[in-house]
Structure 1
């Protein structure tokens, strides 16, 4: 029988406190420390800190550890590759495993795609910006309010989920236009939940007729499920309508699947559930189970840039590629099905908790990408960040790791290996937390 997390010291414990103090003195003040966790090792869906406390992890390093901690097949693949070579500059010299990974990713999107490897989501978005402008020779980019595409200067110009990410870094990239995201729980543009998707599409068409020439727009950047903005699932039909609109105007659709992709939503891409194909797809986070890699997968006819037009030193790193290939193998052996099954079970359990706790305003998500949106009042739906933060801290104290997203959302993004027993344990712990904080 699965036991509760073991918390045997006050948190943080003495060893963790000492490391946190060194961290405070030495590390950049830009780092966020949402709670006092100092891990020592991990196994499966569990983390163990330096003081011997155990935690059930529902954050997976921000949706990164697809196969959990220290999965033996990932460890084996990484070890075997490291014994051969870790790095040749892939911008200059190819190697078999990287080409194999590119072939497999292109095949997963249906064929007819090429691949550029980088190291992180933000680098992938930067490459997509450059490719979109290079191919179309158009200057404008469209992104959505609530979006998160990264924190390097180009991707930051698209990001619009929190003003603190942008404050002090201007001027940002010019010719970036933000439009509302169709948030069903908090619909913009005076729309209702039932018509918010069409309202956003109509708003875009209005912009094209009044202030933003469609023939000067290179690309629309879309998170098929918004991540840092609050794990927001758009209404049915919106993504398909957006794809039709972009095709009508010769605009590229760039799908930022950095957080939603690689099986997290229950399919390899969240876009698959919309019946839509993008021109460019950016993958990262969960692609290699914790090893740094990103992939920009784009339609073959877009590859009009010349050798040297874009490059990277570490992209296509052989060790990260080995981890990615092992991760894909495991995904294809049932992890996406598990994400669907366990995700549905969690959402059902969370909605039962919602019936008892009126300040849990919304439960939403797909697969193992689930958001709990907390409110001050169930009727007004006013965001409640203070309650959300209290819940995050209280969960940590009980040995359950969750993270915030958006103004007032707790995100659940566990490893895709999460078992039914672990899901039930998490539901029980969350139920205790909600009761104790009076949600």
Structure 2
């Protein structure tokens, strides 16, 4: 068995100098002058090239990437099969526009996706360029198909930043600030965020989740929202930006019951949780619930721009001209997606389940050993770690969370925050056990340093009194 030192030397980051280096600093300074300040950068990582789970910056420092471009590079950076598919397609045909002409690959990819769909077929597919576009499509088609105007979404949800998707989003005030009026007809209700909603064990958490779903029928539908005017319920089976919060099975089952009872469409936003990330093709499969519509993007094409809305065939009943996208289903993106499916079907989905379980086994011990770790949750390689000031009160610790993320970057590990006070782990699905072990070693070291810093600060404050 290899020692910790040997593992780190072989599978760990390779840092050559100060982080960030001189080239990175120069580019960040230019970026500050020229690029939209609306982007949310957590640290000055200036990427140059990537291979597998590793990313090299412009100064030659090599990082372990456990953010995967926000859960996008599902097959790892520049997987040779994906690169080959992109190169071959780019040399053949880059664009013709699938809205006015035909591509054989649109059909080929749709047929393959249909085979792994989380609901019974037949199915139809719409191609766009991003997760937000997939959500926009779902929003429009829900209204078109049902003839109804209202939509239900959840607090903590992130569905995108285009105006329709933003109207469903309820993650952070800044995402919506000064953009009103948004698309009308959207009502937000509580998501079953058990760690923030109840303090009991599994039984009380189940009751809490059930109550969140039943609130729709027992309160909304009896006071302010006529059920026959609700077109769809949009739900993330695992909230991404909201904190990597897993929806309990009973919650999803109750949503399905409500939708069936009132003729409402159930839309699963699998933009971040889909494409094998949870150890199954779709996170909703863990609950046994079948959606009516699925939105996907991110990891489905290994970094090429592609967003897809998949529905049961009878739902996509709109007429030509109702919706389209010039670049949606671009031949190069579809080629990348087909190659991505090959890798995921062969190894990625299963590996996400295996490595994710090994990581969770270790992470589940952290709350008992680290006072700042309040909760660990997730499925497969979609794992959230909630940082708190006090485990008893569960007080949020956003600044401590940010400090841990910063320290990880300085040590060569790329991770990102999510929610108010959580950290997400979302490495490429081809990550191996050794890389995962080294990443957790670095992560835990950063947590330990923050705990020591906090302890020292408390001691200094006490001595000053």
TM range (shorter): over 0.9
2:89 corresponds to: 81
Describe the shift of the 1:344–1:189 C-alpha distance in structure 2 as closer, same or farther (beyond 3 A): closer
Structure number with higher helix proportion: 2
Give the whole-Å Cα distance in 2 for the aligned partners of 1:383 and 1:113: 43
Question: Cα offset for 1:332?
Answer: 0.9
- Regions of 4+ moved over 3 Å: 188-192
Structure 2 residue 203 is the aligned partner of structure 1 residue 195 = no
Tell me the alpha carbon deviations over residues 231-290 of structure 1, each in whole angstroms, 9 at most, x when there is no partner: 001223111111111111100001000000000011001111111111110000000000
Tell me the alpha carbon deviations over residues 41-93 of structure 1, each in whole angstroms, 9 at most, x when there is no partner: 00100001011111000000000000001100001111110110111110111
Q: Which moved more, 1:171-180 or 1:189-198?
A: 189-198
Structure 2 residue 27 is the aligned partner of structure 1 residue 15 = no
Maintained 8 Å contact 2:372/2:388: yes
Tell me the alpha carbon deviations over residues 83-114 of structure 1, each in whole angstroms, 9 at most, x when there is no partner: 10111110111111111001111221143110
Could you tell me which of 175, 179, 193 is aligned with 1:183?
A: 193
Could you tell me which of 130, 137, 143 is aligned with 1:133?
A: 143
Could you tell me which of 57, 61, 69 is aligned with 1:61?
A: 69
Question: Cα offset for 1:17?
Answer: 0.6
Could you tell me which of 18, 38, 41 is aligned with 1:33?
A: 41
Unpaired segments of 5 or more residues in structure 2?
A: 1-6, 453-465
Match runs of 1:221-232 below 5 Å: 221-232=234-245
Tell me the alpha carbon deviations over residues 399-433 of structure 1, each in whole angstroms, 9 at most, x when there is no partner: 00000100000000100001000011011111211
Give the whole-Å Cα distance in 2 for the aligned partners of 1:349 and 1:43: 26
Match runs of 1:7-406 below 5 Å: 7-109=15-117, 110-187=120-197, 192-205=204-217, 206-406=219-419
Give the whole-Å Cα distance in 2 for the aligned partners of 1:387 and 1:166: 25
Give the whole-Å Cα distance in 2 for the aligned partners of 1:432 and 1:303: 50
Maintained 8 Å contact 2:206/2:250: no
Question: Cα offset for 1:292?
Answer: 0.3
Secondary structure, aligned partner of 2:194: coil
Give the whole-Å Cα distance in 2 for the aligned partners of 1:252 and 1:295: 17
Maintained 8 Å contact 2:74/2:429: yes
Maintained 8 Å contact 1:182/1:188: no
Unpaired segments of 5 or more residues in structure 1?
A: none
Give the whole-Å Cα distance in 1 for the aligned partners of 2:26 and 2:204: 51
Give the whole-Å Cα distance in 2 for the aligned partners of 1:279 and 1:373: 32
Secondary structure, aligned partner of 1:349: helix
Structure 2 residue 424 is the aligned partner of structure 1 residue 411 = yes
Question: Cα offset for 1:352?
Answer: 2.3
Maintained 8 Å contact 1:184/1:234: no
Give the whole-Å Cα distance in 1 for the aligned partners of 2:96 and 2:437: 45
Tell me the alpha carbon deviations over residues 199-221 of structure 1, each in whole angstroms, 9 at most, x when there is no partner: 11221112111111000000000
Secondary structure, aligned partner of 1:237: helix
Give the whole-Å Cα distance in 1 for the aligned partners of 2:400 and 2:366: 16
Maintained 8 Å contact 1:338/1:416: yes
Maintained 8 Å contact 1:125/1:282: yes
Count residues in correspondence: 439
Give the whole-Å Cα distance in 2 for the aligned partners of 1:255 and 1:236: 14
Secondary structure, aligned partner of 1:336: helix
Secondary structure, aligned partner of 2:175: helix
